[in-house]
């Protein structure tokens, strides 16, 4: 089963995260399929802008914590290798989005939490429904938001990033719009239509200046961002190796409150 459904409707295309039963979590298969979808559309000359959305009620609930927790059962050195590989793949997906030459419009309904928030932040524009919410709850789960942290600081500034990263609190689409993250805020039933209208508007510009503008923003003005993403991915993997992370991830899997080690 392909976890990223692609539909071309020139001059735009839609990539839909397609694992609604699990909140479109970023497991190994989803990350691989999203990367392949972006690669396929990279060369598609009919497509000049892309809408990124999710099936079901949530855009994306983040990295698959069940997969992360499974690695705690392996020997320490093996587990660290698995965490590093998983975080690197996620970091590479975010970098692929940032370097993708065509504008990407995230159409967010429901939860865009953790890694799902990172997908929205790595997109060029965000359309979020009235019911959309954004959060980085990593600290409450004994881990850190290593990839989302530099994206938050880049898009919204370090003060706002600190608020979300240290508290784990969720913000509404209304608040996100007030801080400039969200461009449009339609009802849930109109989320894709509004995002595609924005994508079509963007696609009316010629592709060469669009790609050049993305490079200017993400690779010149944000020249430190790609390095920070690599460092953040490594930090995320390292944080998973602690006793605190093991308890936090196990608590998520067992659907209970964590009992933090002293």
Residue 260 lies in a domain: no
- What is the rounded distance in angstroms from the CA atom of residue 142 to the CA atom of residue 238? 12
Query: b vs e for 189-210, b when ≥16 Cβ sit within 10 Å of the residue's Cβ?
Result: eebbebbbbbbbebbeeebeeb
Residue from 87, 84, 40 nearest 62 by CA: 87
Report pTM. 0.97
Residue from 134, 150, 117 nearest 218 by CA: 150
Q: Which helix (H) or strand (E) holds 50?
A: strand 49-54
Inter-residue long-range contacts of 31-35, CB under 8 Å, 24+ positions, other chains counted: 31/89, 31/90, 31/93, 32/89, 33/2, 33/3, 33/4, 34/3, 34/4, 34/93, 35/92, 35/93, 35/96
Residue 147 lies in a domain: yes
Residue 98 lies in a domain: yes
> How many domains is the chain partitioned into structurally?
1
Residue 80 lies in a domain: yes
Give the structural domain span for 105. 4-254
Predicted confidence (pLDDT) per residue in 175-216, tens digit: 999 999 999 999 999 999 999 999 999 999 999 999 999 999
Q: Which helix (H) or strand (E) holds 9?
A: strand 4-9
Q: Confidence band (pLDDT; 50, 70, 90) for 72?
A: confident
- What is the rounded distance in angstroms from the CA atom of residue 116 to the CA atom of residue 127? 14
Question: Residue 23: is its pLDDT beyond 90?
Answer: yes
Q: In what order do the strands lie in the sheet with 111-113?
A: 111-113, 133-135, 171-172
Residue 179 is encoded by which pair of tokens? Answer: 């801080």
Alpha helices, H only, 100-190: 115-122, 148-156, 158-167, 173-178
- What is the rounded distance in angstroms from the CA atom of residue 67 to the CA atom of residue 90? 13
Contact 165, 149 (CB under 8 A): yes
Residue 77 has a pLDDT of 82
Proportion of the chain above pLDDT 90, given as a percent:
94
- What is the rounded distance in angstroms from the CA atom of residue 157 to the CA atom of residue 192? 28
Q: Confidence band (pLDDT; 50, 70, 90) for 27?
A: very high
CATH number of the domain that 201 lies in? 3.90.226.10
Q: Around 210, how many Cα atoms within 13 Å sit in the side-chain half-sphere?
A: 19
Residue from 100, 109, 114 nearest 27 by CA: 114
Residue 136 has a pLDDT of 98
Q: What Å distances lie between residue 185 and 53, 87, 152, 164, 191, CA to CA?
A: 14, 31, 20, 21, 8
Q: Around 137, how many Cα atoms within 13 Å sit in the side-chain half-sphere?
A: 18
Please give the mean pLDDT across all residues of the chain: 96
């Amino acid at each position: 089963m392909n976890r990223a459904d692609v539909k071309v409707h020139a001059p735009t295309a839609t990539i839909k995260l397609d694992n609604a039963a699990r909140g479109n979590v970023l497991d190994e298969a989803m990350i691989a399929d999203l990367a392949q979808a972006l690669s396929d559309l990279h060369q598609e000359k009919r497509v000049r802008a892309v809408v990124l959305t999710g099936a079901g009620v949530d855009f994306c609930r983040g990295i698959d914590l069940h997969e992360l927790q499974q690695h705690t059962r392996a020997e320490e050195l093996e587990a660290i290798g698995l965490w590093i590989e998983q975080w690197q793949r996620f970091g590479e997906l975010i970098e692929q989005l940032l370097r993708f030459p065509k504008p990407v419009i995230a159409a967010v309904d429901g939860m865009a939490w953790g890694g799902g928030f990172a997908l929205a932040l790595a997109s060029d524009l965000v359309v979020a429904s009235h019911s959309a919410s954004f959060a980085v709850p990593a600290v409450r789960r004994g881990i850190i938001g290593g990839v989302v942290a530099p994206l938050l600081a880049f898009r919204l500034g370090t003060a706002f990033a600190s608020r979300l990263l240290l508290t784990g609190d969720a913000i509404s689409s209304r608040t996100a719009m007030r801080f400039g993250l969200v461009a449009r805020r339609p009802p849930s039933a109109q989320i894709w239509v509004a995002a595609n209208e924005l994508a079509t508007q963007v696609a009316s510009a010629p592709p060469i200046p669009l790609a050049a503008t993305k490079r200017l923003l993400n690779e010149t003005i944000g020249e430190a961002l790609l390095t920070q993403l690599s460092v953040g991915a490594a930090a995320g993997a390292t944080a998973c190796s602690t006793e605190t992370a093991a308890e936090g991830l196990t608590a998520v899997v067992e659907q209970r409150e964590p009992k933090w080690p002293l």
